[in-house]
Structure 1
Amino acid sequence: MASKERIQRLKEDTRMNILKAALQIVKEEGWQALSMRKIADVIEYTAPIIYEYFSNKDAIILELTRKGYLILSRDLEEAKSKHRLPAKQLEAMWLAYWNFAFANKELYQAMYGVNTNYSCELMNTLPEAERPWDLFTAVIGELMGIQDMESNMICTKYYTFWSVVHGLISINILSRGNSDEINRQVLKDAIGAIIRSMTGQFSPGTAPVKENKSVE
């Protein structure tokens, strides 16, 4: 039994080393440079051994993407747990989403097809890809007093948030022209405006509620 456990552990270590090597290559050279042969060279294995663990390069990318969604979900849950009010939870969660994107830029690129040629449809087949959606929509529903998670209103508000936040992230990943302080303030202003529109704090033609503009 001990021998079987040791063999299984060695196999898992090799699998993890393959994924680490793949991510290392991507960080140094970009997704376009990733290949099975390069991975084999980094971990000093022959290419056929890599194929024993992953059928092709796409399988490796899919596994790295799975890892990305797990990390993102963990970060979102942690951010949500620090606040009681749904509005504060949403703000904290979208800021955590932003932080994740830049702390794990290469994973984010694969997850959402930023500056890569990989199919978002393939990535969205992962069960882990549903968790961020579930976390965000649950809080949106609570804030708006909507219990039906299939509501078009919840879906619309989620994609309003995501379009703004993801768009700003994508712009900065491709060319980070503004300072972190300006980027973060633009992000907070956008999130705050969407939340106020959901809670009816102001209506068209009236002044929005003033907020503290300090950058966290």
Structure 2
Amino acid sequence: MSTTERKERERARRHELIIATARELAEEQGWEAVTTRRLSERIEYSQPVLYSHFSGKDAIVTAVALQGFGELAEALEAATAPAADPRSALEAAVRAYTAFAEEHPALYEAMFSRSVDLPFGQPDTPAPLRAGFEAILRVLTPFAGGRDPALLAEVGWSSIHGLVTLARDGRLPPAAREQRLALLADQLAAAPADRARGRGREHRQGEDPADTPLG
């Protein structure tokens, strides 16, 4: 191995060590505890060395978030691959997504709540972000009907994220967690025609007989 190759390998190892240490510290004490000084102390490298890899804390959070999206995509793929049918895959994805957010709260915060320099939904969106979205797109496409699958995936992702965020912040009672996830999967799987029929039944049930035309 040449000197250049050895230096590049060492630099890559330091880069990953900084990311891993930031994640570890954030999961232990929250992102407010993650500072360049504390990271330098933990990894036993000087702050100038750390700054040679990242411009500051926001850049580190961005790297953590990027890593998180890749791991989320892998978790969704692992959960949905054994599914026997699209409906089972959808429910598995909803549950896997929720479990991922619950098991990695600081990582999930980096992905969705912290300041990151990542282009979402753009031509230059990084591959891990695309992989996360495409994993959700795959399980929802069979239920799109005449709708845009990408828009359905966006709304589905937003719905799952909303439940995760409200539950994490204590805005939803934990006892109904499983019922909420099942209801969300049912709503996402409902075909447009099924929804229209449901609205029609609700309308007819709410009609005042005096307003019903005769003949």
Query: Normalising TM by the smaller chain, what interval?
Result: 0.7 to 0.9
What is the aligned partner in structure 1 of residue 70 from structure 2? 70
Q: Is the 8 A contact 2:144 2:191 kept in 1?
A: no
User: Structure 2 counterpart of 1:182, which letter?
Assistant: A
In the alignment, is residue 79 of structure 1 matched against residue 79 of structure 2? yes
What is the aligned partner in structure 1 of residue 211 from structure 2? none
What is the aligned partner in structure 2 of residue 211 from structure 1? none
1:129 CA displacement: 0.8
Corresponding residue to 1:178 among 173, 176, 182 = 173
Which structure's CA Rg is the greater one?
2
What is the aligned partner in structure 1 of residue 206 from structure 2? none
> Aligned equivalents of 1:86 and 1:61: distance in 2?
35
What is the aligned partner in structure 1 of residue 118 from structure 2? 122
User: Structure 2 counterpart of 1:15, which letter?
Assistant: H
Corresponding residue to 2:182 among 179, 188, 194 = 188
Change (3 A) 1:140 1:177: closer
Change (3 A) 1:199 1:157: farther
Q: Is the 8 A contact 1:19 1:60 kept in 2?
A: yes
Using the size of structure 1 for normalisation, the TM-score is 0.78
- Aligned-residue identity in percent: 26
> Aligned equivalents of 2:135 and 2:173: distance in 1?
30
Q: Is the 8 A contact 2:143 2:188 kept in 1?
A: no
Q: Is the 8 A contact 1:143 1:199 kept in 2?
A: no
User: Structure 2 counterpart of 1:172, which letter?
Assistant: A
Cα deviation, 1:48-87, whole Å, max 9, x if unaligned, reads: 0101222222221111111101111111111221114222
In the alignment, is residue 49 of structure 1 matched against residue 49 of structure 2? yes
> Aligned equivalents of 2:144 and 2:12: distance in 1?
45
> Aligned equivalents of 1:145 and 1:164: distance in 2?
19
> Aligned equivalents of 1:73 and 1:159: distance in 2?
15
What is the aligned partner in structure 2 of residue 154 from structure 1? 149
Q: Is the 8 A contact 1:140 1:154 kept in 2?
A: yes
1:105 CA displacement: 1.2
Alignment of 1:1-216 (within 5 A): 1=1, 3-113=3-113, 116=114, 118-119=115-116, 122=118, 124=120, 125-144=125-144, 153-175=148-170, 178-179=173-174, 182-198=176-192, 200=194, 203-204=198-199, 205=201
- Ranked by relative contact order (alpha carbons within 8 Å, sequence separation 6 or more), the top structure is 2
How many residues were matched structurally?
A: 196
Structure 1 stretch displaced more, 94-103 or 136-145:
136-145
Q: Is the 8 A contact 2:145 2:192 kept in 1?
A: no
> Aligned equivalents of 1:69 and 1:156: distance in 2?
19
Q: CA RMSD in A?
A: 2.5
What is the aligned partner in structure 1 of residue 209 from structure 2? none
Structure 2: runs of 5 or more not aligned: 203-215
